[in-house]
Amino acid sequence: MPVGDSARTDVFISYARQDRERAEALVRVFEQQGWSVWWDRDLTPGNSYRKEIGGRLAAARCVLVLWSRRSVDSGWVTDEASAGLARNALVPALLDDVPQPLGFQQIQAVRLTDWDGTTSHPEAAHLLRTIGDILGRSPVPEPAPNGRVTWRRWITLPALAVPLLTAVALRVAPLPGMEISADIRATRVGFTLRSEQALFTTPVAVESLSISGLREFRLTPTRRYDEPMMLLAAHQGTRRGTIALDVPILPAGTRVTLDSAGSFAGFGTSYRLSLEGSVPELGVSLNGPVQLIVPSSDPVSTTHEAHHDRLVAHPESGVIDLDLFLVAGSVPSFATMDSVEALDFTRSYKIREGEGRDDPIVSTIVLGSISFPSLGRDTQTLAAGEALAFSHSSGKLRVVGLPGNQIAVTFKGSVVGFRGGTLDRPSYFDFLARRHPVSLGAVAALYAIAAGAVALRWKKKVR
């Protein structure tokens, strides 16, 4: 800072012009201490440089010489340091790791080779104490602005960490709800109807049919049976009749399970169809000789000569099971069910009561694939026994075939609570990257710029 000719200066700084930036940093520190400083930037235009420098040097209470690679070879700096030494007012400081010139090496120099710009740096604090002793004034503590920098640093760290941690969480957190398309083969499939729907498009021709869970059934107006189970077979010796399960219209809320592990017959293409809920009456069309078996306390086994008759079965409340032994070469024509939920491909095995263990649940998936159309993800293959389950699902389901005693289904819709043991589940990040790629890229770019700016500032001021 400029001073009048008659005033004394607290600190005179001698340095090489190439070190101006580092000298200016020290000037700011001294001025924050309330000390008057003179350096060659304060030369008065028009005056003789040599005369003014000599006057300022003689009037300074302390002469600080900054030794660097450049200043040790400067005659000006050496002369100014000699003048300060002669008055016992010299304080040397090393900006670079260089030896002091001859004649000054007996004086201990302050090492500022790694100074970070703060007064808390050990060597900078030592320099302030040394100059303060010469001036008779103790250095003041580091000013408030630097304190605010420290406070801001601790505020900035969480501010930068929160978006980064959020991005990591979005990347690893699976998306709970998503659109899927699945083609699956399993030995058991279960689902719940969300609206009244037909299970088949045409009647199902069978060789034999067993129904359990009945309240009663009527073969003719005069032949009524109050029995929970009955069996029909479409053959009697060499003569054969026909049996066809009529198309049932099932109400909303009906739980439907199709299982290839039907208990009846034990061979051929046998399936068990289980219906749970408020199931209406079931109709069975009969023609020709049909064997009827009623396994009760008073068993009945008789041959009925049907003439386009219709057996009507009234289910008991709860679950009704139909064991179907299909006609060779025929495949039921399943309807496309437009609204189903709670899709499931597992089977539980009942263990003996009293063992204190839960019933084991296993996957019945044989093979398949699943894709996520709305996210543009590659189709993923399902392995045999894949533990695939949906807590909630809603969409269209169709049984497309019964190959090799298996059940082939397609499903398109939304799922929530999706679990798959080996599947790479889409995450929130995948959803954002697919739906909002430009916005996500812009946010990432802004974060990178902000983080870079903060890092650069810390490196310069708060290292």
Average of per-residue pLDDT across 131-149: 69
Cα(85)–Cα(78) distance, rounded to whole angstroms? 10
In 98-176, where do the E strands start and end?
A: 110-111
Q: Is residue 251 within 8 Å of residue 276, measured between CB atoms?
A: no
3-state class (DSSP) for residue 59: helix
Phi, psi values for residue 87, rounded to 5°: -95, 5
Largest CA distance in the chain: 138
Q: Which residues contact 259 (CB under 8 A, 6 or more apart)?
A: 187, 188, 271, 272, 273, 274, 347
Asked whether the whole model's pTM tops 0.75, one would answer no
For the segment 410-462, what is each residue's pLDDT rounded down to a tens digit? 999 887 656 555 555 565 565 565 566 667 677 777 777 777 776 676 665 54
Q: Structure tokens of 329? A: 């070469």
Q: Structure tokens of 42? A: 């304060």
CATH class of the domain defined by 11-142: alpha beta
DSSP state of 321: E
More confident residue, 35 or 161: 35
> Does the pLDDT at position 106 exceed 90?
no
Which span out of 185-199, 220-234, 342-356 was modeled with the highest average pLDDT?
185-199
For the segment 48-75, what is each residue's pLDDT rounded down to a tens digit? 567 888 888 888 999 999 999 999 999 8
Q: Is residue 268 within 8 Å of residue 254, measured between CB atoms?
A: no
> Does the pLDDT at position 219 exceed 50?
yes
Q: Residue 180 — very low, low, confident or very high, per pLDDT cuts 50/70/90?
A: confident
* Weakest-pLDDT range from 26-40, 242-256, 439-453: 439-453
3-state class (DSSP) for residue 298: coil
Average of per-residue pLDDT across 112-128: 90
* Weakest-pLDDT range from 140-154, 175-189, 334-348, 382-396: 140-154
Q: Is residue 13 within 8 Å of residue 56, measured between CB atoms?
A: no
